[in-house]
Amino acid sequence: MFVSAVCFLQASGTALPKDAGLEVKVEETLSRMTLDEKIGQMTELSIDVLGSWKNNEFFLDPEKLHEAIAIYKVGSILNAPGGPTAQTPEKWEQLISQIQDISMKEIGIPCIYGLDQNHGTTYTLGGVLFPQNINVGASFNPEIARQSAEITAYETRSANCPWTYSPTVDLTRDPRWSRVWENFGEDPLVNAVMGANQIIGFQGDDPNQIGPYKVATSVKHYLGYGAPRTGKDRTPAYISTSDLREKFFEPFRACIEAGALTVMVNSGSINGRPVHANNELLTKWLKEDLNWDGMIVTDWADINNLYTRECVAADKKEAIEMAINAGIDMSMEPYDLKFCTLLKELVNEGRVTMERIDDATRRILRLKYRLGLFENPNTFKKDYPEFASAKHENIALKSAEESIVLLKNRNDILPLKKGMKILVTGPNANSMRCLNGGWSYSWQGHLTDRFASKYNTIYEAVCDKFGKENIVLEQGVTYLPEGAYYQENDPKIDKAVAAAGDADIVLACIGENSYCETPGNLSDLVLSVNQRNLVKALANTGKPVILIINGGRPRIINDIEPLADGIVNVLLPGNFGGDALANILAGDTNPSARMPYTYPKNQAELTTYDYRVSEEMDKMEGAYDYDAVVSVQWPFGYGLSYTTFKYDNFKCAQTEFDANDNLIFTVDVTNIGNKAGKEVVMLFSRDMVASLTPENRRLRGFQKVELQPGETKTVTLTIKAGDLAFVDSDGKWILEKGDFRMQAGTEILNIKCNETYKWNTPNK
Ligand code: BGC
């Protein structure tokens, strides 16, 4: 079962179904807890502070463990030790069992351990790493989101960890941001559908019974993290009431409706108010409006940041008061225990009520009961024979294949003919680090080549596919091994140019090295000058150039794009990305991915596909020639195939509708080429006249279909009329009377709404 891409965002006022028996246990446990124990449950520490290193191995220190768990009653621990760095499943089993033993003995409540298993088993050595979420978005295939999460859950649990800080559904609204690649792209519907499918993959269908092969999720980072005004990580966002509810909130709502058990909060602020101190967003929108009984955890040290960075509190105590009263249930401290002492003072002084403490504790206990941790605090590697199995790896390969976007194919230069001599060049040509990006074995992903040497880089995969004797590797530009993402060695472009002499074709692998969060900030979105010079010099040789773009966000390449005959954007395809690309280059796989974000052409023209119509307009007549232009390199939804699809007979079952109608669209899609292929059928809408300037277009549904040569399929996309509504400036959903232009492929039709309807509830 997976949540389809249509008819999805309509349900409202959802609550996880309560399990009466489980609630009795929660109340019974709560009733025998002291204030210290409750506050301890609300505290989360980093494992680093609980141990030390001996001969390159991390060990928990019994005294530190005793202080944290027996004395302070800490209920949650997170992260991998050492920077952080991935550990073997056996090591995890040992570390987490030790924590569970003391937790059960001293407080009778299991600990909940959390890890960022963000595109597979980030922190479990030997586990499968899938394409990053930006690729999952590009695949437009919700099944990939679900399956990869399901496998990640299994492999995470085999290392005794029951909780992942995934999925990330922030929306990628600014291409400069260093976390673009952690999301499913810029569109709310794609983030909602993929996020919800990951929730089901990670947790299963019943959030009350997570079971030993599943993990709890933490949807992040609530809310508005993906639109920092400066483009830099953890800096303020300024978001209109309409956009906040209509675009940023929808993916979170979809994930909650799919059963998400926890939510992690955005480190930054929206319209001046840090989200960690925003009662309306945390308590009203999430817990009350959605009737959600899950648990809210801070991001890293973010209660501290309320006074150290955001300056909305005078000191730590005031910061704790603000955050807990805003609705935070658990504080990812992560380094010390002052939170416990200060929160207890706040309760004793009446500044935080016992009701709020009980509410937070109840949510944490409920999570632990739902995970079955009271009965089975540990899971064991021996019970997970499918860990990193060939089946799991094959799904990672197929996911990578479906997530690579073909952007240019002048004169059908691709697929490459067998027997061609290929020069493989560029800094991304021979690196597992580049293929995986951040959250891969380490936070920054900088150690990947140490741990992933058994997988194929692009160069290795191309050698396997086309014969080593036909391939020359001369990179011309290289990154500093294990360095910061922007560090390049002195270029050796002449050597690459010389090597091009013997080649029939040049495969220039360009882009970015890995990074994560703030260390990934940038001040120039243009691709590095060395890399652009490399491509220019190689194009000058007259040999045809294929660009392979590999990186976490779109770097501007408008000066070298015209020099390339073919362009393939692999984004961050994971450990099987090299093989997947080679299959596409050889024509063994037909590319079927689409751009999950708008690829900008110029530094000063950054936009998303759903801009308001007046952002692009022709010259006005008269003395003042006002105009506006949005020029993009590749639009959202763009992507080529080795075959051609034709659209016909686009219809809507009714041409006029009311607010509560279902709208059923059908379109015939035919593969008129001679290769089998998959097509992403997208349904776009445009509100022709609206009381807020309407958007250029919005994606309302999508479905990926596979077609053999000559085959036609009728694709049905059903939406609710309410899906065409927008959020007014007063924060309420409204559907306005009038015409809507609908589009599927090349086909367009108009439908008409007969009534204006405003929803009185916060969600439709
Ligand atoms: C990141 C989160 C992550 C957390 C725990 C933070 O720095 O923003 O995405 O889940 O660390 O590792």
Each residue's pLDDT tens digit, 573-597:
999 999 999 999 999 999 999 999 9
pLDDT in tens, 677-688: 999 999 999 999
- Other beta carbons less than 10 A from residue 450's beta carbon: 14
Distance from the CA of 229 to the center of ligand 1, in angstroms?
20
Q: Which atom of ligand 1 is nearest to the CA of 443?
A: 12
Q: Which atom of ligand 1 is nearest to the CA of 234?
A: 8
Q: Which residue has the higher pLDDT, 623 or 425?
A: 425
Q: What are phi and psi of 363, to 5 degrees?
A: -65, -35
Pocket test for ligand 1, best of 79, 116, 178 (most atoms within 8 A of CB): 116
Residue corresponding to tokens 């991001």: 299
Indicate the pLDDT class of residue 4, thresholds 50, 70 and 90.
low
Mean pLDDT of 715-728: 98
Pocket test for ligand 1, best of 299, 304, 330, 444 (most atoms within 8 A of CB): 299
Q: Which atom of ligand 1 is nearest to the CA of 168?
A: 9
Q: Which two tokens stand for residue 676?
A: 């089998």
Rg (CA), the chain: 26
For ligand 1, which residues put their CB under 6 angstroms from it? 79, 116, 165, 220, 264, 299-300, 517
- The residue contributing the CA closest to ligand 1 atom 10 is 165
Distance from the CA of 623 to the center of ligand 1, in angstroms?
54
Mean pLDDT of 21-39: 97
- The residue contributing the CA closest to ligand 1 atom 7 is 300
* Percentage with pLDDT > 90 across the chain: 95
* Residue 231 pLDDT > 90: yes
Distance from the CA of 693 to the center of ligand 1, in angstroms?
37
Measured CA to CA, the distance from residue 262 to residue 386 in angstroms comes to 27
Beta strands 273-274; 269-270: pairing state: antiparallel
Strand runs (DSSP E) across 41-84, as ranges?
43-46, 51-54, 57-60, 76-78
* Residue 15 pLDDT > 70: no
* Residue 619 pLDDT > 90: no
Indicate the pLDDT class of residue 7, thresholds 50, 70 and 90.
very low
- The residue contributing the CA closest to ligand 1 atom 11 is 300
Per the document, the length of the chain is 764
Per-residue pLDDT, 25: 98
Cβ atoms of residues 679 and 592 within 8 Å: yes
* Percentage with pLDDT > 70 across the chain: 96
Mean pLDDT of 360-386: 98
Per-residue pLDDT, 643: 98
CA torsion, points 137, 140, 143, 148, in degrees to nearest 10? -30
Per-residue pLDDT, 6: 43
pLDDT in tens, 57-70: 999 999 999 999 99
Mean pLDDT of 279-300: 98
Per-residue pLDDT, 14: 55
* Residue 425 pLDDT > 60: yes
Pocket test for ligand 1, best of 161, 264, 266, 303 (most atoms within 8 A of CB): 264
Distance from the CA of 167 to the center of ligand 1, in angstroms?
12
Measured CA to CA, the distance from residue 597 to residue 180 in angstroms comes to 9
Concatenated DSSP letters of 426-450: STTTT-HHHHH-SSBSBSS-TTHHH
Distance from the CA of 300 to the center of ligand 1, in angstroms?
6
Pocket test for ligand 1, best of 48, 123, 165 (most atoms within 8 A of CB): 165
Indicate the pLDDT class of residue 11, thresholds 50, 70 and 90.
very low
Indicate if 299 belongs to the active site: yes
Per-residue pLDDT, 631: 84
- The residue contributing the CA closest to ligand 1 atom 8 is 299
Q: Which atom of ligand 1 is nearest to the CA of 332?
A: 5
Q: Which two tokens stand for residue 612?
A: 């308001």
- The residue contributing the CA closest to ligand 1 atom 2 is 299
Is the overall model pTM greater than 0.95, yes or no? yes
* Residue 622 pLDDT > 70: no
Helices 458-466 and 577-586: crossing angle, nearest 10°? Answer: 40
Measured CA to CA, the distance from residue 572 to residue 431 in angstroms comes to 12
Identity at 658, one-letter amino acid code: D
Concatenated DSSP letters of 322-362: HHHHHT--BEE--S-SHHHHHHHHHHHTTSS-HHHHHHHHH
Identity at 508, one-letter amino acid code: A
* Residue 535 pLDDT > 70: yes
Mean pLDDT of 621-630: 68
Distance from the CA of 413 to the center of ligand 1, in angstroms?
42
Indicate the pLDDT class of residue 630, thresholds 50, 70 and 90.
confident
User: SS3 letters for 455-505?
Assistant: CCCHHHHHHHHHCHHHEEECCCCCECCCCCCCCECCCCHHHHHHHHCCCCE
Average pLDDT, the chain: 96
Per-residue pLDDT, 616: 80
Q: Which residue has the higher pLDDT, 568 or 626?
A: 568
Indicate the pLDDT class of residue 627, thresholds 50, 70 and 90.
low
- Closest by CA position to 239, among listed 250, 222, 227: 227
Q: Of 48, 299, 302, 723, which one is the catalytic site residue?
A: 299
Distance from the CA of 346 to the center of ligand 1, in angstroms?
27
